[in-house]
Chain A
């Protein structure tokens, strides 16, 4: 099915114009947030510590998936976790302040970029150990099932995580217990620095990674993750299955991470910033990266909305400006927020 047809279909059925506009708005908010994070390394060196991972390139996949969400469903990503809370309603000011390690940060400066949590917005937390949060997400699904709340869980993880034992154990158990969860395997082609073809048996054989679903006798599908509407359609099917009590599905969403895995790992006082993408920096493949940039989901979806007459250039420009302003404000808020009191370091150890 071509994208044009999908757009026609969803327009006629589920996705009315304001939903499409919502999708575009969230995609641009994510992109602007990540661009501001990236620029921080240059504009405010030292303001952000440790390791930060960005979602640029993943916007269509994440927003397309979460467009199927009901208001109280959980979203549980990995340590690459800026995008989901933005979509769920977490304050970008608090998020940015957390990345800056400030007192007004979402987690009071205790977690940083990799450990955002906002349970009020159905974002219970993340793990920075690859693959481990897949089990946590299934735990949230167990809560929903035991308490019969009708909630489902959107579990996001990368292609690298799908090689972890936690992935295999959790998918088996989720299938056995028929947990209400959708597993979204974000295949962005690179596990940190290693290309997927070097470490994934399915990829090596030229098969889709969604083939892993067959091992657990659950539905598996691969979708073009650069198109939010294709993702929407596939995830909606899996979400419906989860809501109906039929158990989990695995969706491989294929897109390209547009930034490097994370900021360079440096030892103080050497400053850190985002290096070139691994395609160039490690593999010397400029053509691959250039081609991926040309498939950037945001300008493509923007052009689609314009050509379909859903938004005018002026309206799109206003949305773009508003997202930029929102994230400019987030940076100003973070810079103005005080450092935490040092003696707070022993808070929050025990409940």
Chain B
């Protein structure tokens, strides 16, 4: 039976269920498990649930060392930018150790962090830094957009034998939705068609999926049928589902909260240009953040980021009047 649950709660449920299932899973990070009242601490004990100091390099590096020797650590990093102070461990240690060892070791760990906070957190706590990670062979990258995916992707991340960066979108934390009860695993590399359509393909992740779905409803009222695809994992990236959709619609709008040249959109555009060019009836359009750091003040922030109106406008620019079917 599915249960209505918040996105944040769904992630936490997956962690607790996986820790119940597998004694090798440990969970630690800053500002957690500080008192004996902590529910995870009560459930799993201080050996497996730990408080860490503000030391991302040590936290992530220790996770790497623990993973290659038999644990499955989850590191709570809170905000994705905090990984930037430990980028060697994220990009140059965790994903490379298996390869460099010729397959001798595996590195099963999860780096859990929020991203894309659009609530006045200004330049250093609002970013989308996944582009840097999605191109590193050996690293996997999951970005759930719904409570159900938040649970299923977390379970998959913990069970995966590779390092996974699990990015949850801050703006979705309180969103509710049906979440399957009990064991629920969303496989990596399988995009989800969040809304079926025939005139245009919209690809988005995280918060942008929600905005794209809102835009699609408006567009439907205008006679435009938009298909909304959420890749759910950027590494591995399900290019086939996107190409198959473009075969049907002939038009592609890529929505991404990151700045243009550090967006996943740019990578997807290149894949479609190479593998799906003959199916395109219009240029690929990217709706991304403008090329500036995220500003503090609300109107400035709103102006910078993609929104429903910008998405709808981009779709209208590639769907000619003649194909619009008014109800």
A residues within 8 Å of B by Cβ? 74, 76, 105-111, 115, 117-119, 124-125, 127, 129, 132, 134-147, 165-166, 169-170, 172-173, 176-177, 347-351
- Residues of chain A within 8 A (CB-CB) of B26 are 142, 146
When the two chains form their complex, are residues B102 and A106 in contact, meaning their CB atoms are under 8 A apart?
yes
**Residue from the set B65, B70, B97, B108 with the largest chain A CB neighbour count within 10 Å:** B65
Compute how far the CA of A139 lies from the CA of B92 in the bound complex, rounded to whole angstroms: 17
When the two chains form their complex, are residues B48 and A348 in contact, meaning their CB atoms are under 8 A apart?
no
Give the segment of B56-64, B177-185, B242-250 that binds chain A.
B56-64
When the two chains form their complex, are residues B68 and A139 in contact, meaning their CB atoms are under 8 A apart?
yes
A103 to chain B, nearest CB (A): 10
B residues within 8 Å of A by Cβ? 24, 26, 47-48, 50, 52-53, 55-71, 73, 88-89, 92-93, 97-108, 137-138, 140, 161-162
Compute how far the CA of A147 lies from the CA of B22 in the bound complex, rounded to whole angstroms: 12
**Residue from the set B58, B67, B99, B107 with the largest chain A CB neighbour count within 10 Å:** B58
A188 to chain B, nearest CB (A): 23
When the two chains form their complex, are residues B61 and A166 in contact, meaning their CB atoms are under 8 A apart?
yes
When the two chains form their complex, are residues B69 and A138 in contact, meaning their CB atoms are under 8 A apart?
no
Compute how far the CA of A98 lies from the CA of B92 in the bound complex, rounded to whole angstroms: 21
At the interface, is chain B mostly helix, strand, loop or mixed? mixed
When the two chains form their complex, are residues B57 and A169 in contact, meaning their CB atoms are under 8 A apart?
yes
Known contacts: A135-B61, A349-B138. The answer to whether A140 contacts B102 by CB under 8 A is no
Contact of A170 among B61, B92, B100, B106 (CB under 8 A): B61
Compute how far the CA of A253 lies from the CA of B102 in the bound complex, rounded to whole angstroms: 32
When the two chains form their complex, are residues A117 and B137 in contact, meaning their CB atoms are under 8 A apart?
no
A108 to chain B, nearest CB (A): 4
When the two chains form their complex, are residues B57 and A166 in contact, meaning their CB atoms are under 8 A apart?
yes
- Residues of chain B within 8 A (CB-CB) of A136 are 61-62, 64-65, 68, 93
Q: Which residue of A lies closest to B137 (CB)?
A: A349
- Residues of chain B within 8 A (CB-CB) of A106 are 102
- Residues of chain B within 8 A (CB-CB) of A76 are 65
Compute how far the CA of A348 lies from the CA of B107 in the bound complex, rounded to whole angstroms: 12
- Residues of chain A within 8 A (CB-CB) of B56 are 169
A-B pairs with lowest CB-CB distance, top 10: A139-B65, A135-B61, A136-B65, A107-B102, A169-B58, A108-B102, A117-B101, A169-B55, A351-B161, A139-B66
Known contacts: A127-B93, A146-B48. The answer to whether A135 contacts B162 by CB under 8 A is no
Compute how far the CA of A118 lies from the CA of B69 in the bound complex, rounded to whole angstroms: 11
Known contacts: A135-B61, A139-B62, A351-B98. The answer to whether A119 contacts B68 by CB under 8 A is yes
Known contacts: A127-B93, A173-B52. The answer to whether A147 contacts B103 by CB under 8 A is no
When the two chains form their complex, are residues B50 and A165 in contact, meaning their CB atoms are under 8 A apart?
no
- Residues of chain B within 8 A (CB-CB) of A137 are 65
When the two chains form their complex, are residues A143 and B66 in contact, meaning their CB atoms are under 8 A apart?
yes
When the two chains form their complex, are residues B104 and A132 in contact, meaning their CB atoms are under 8 A apart?
no
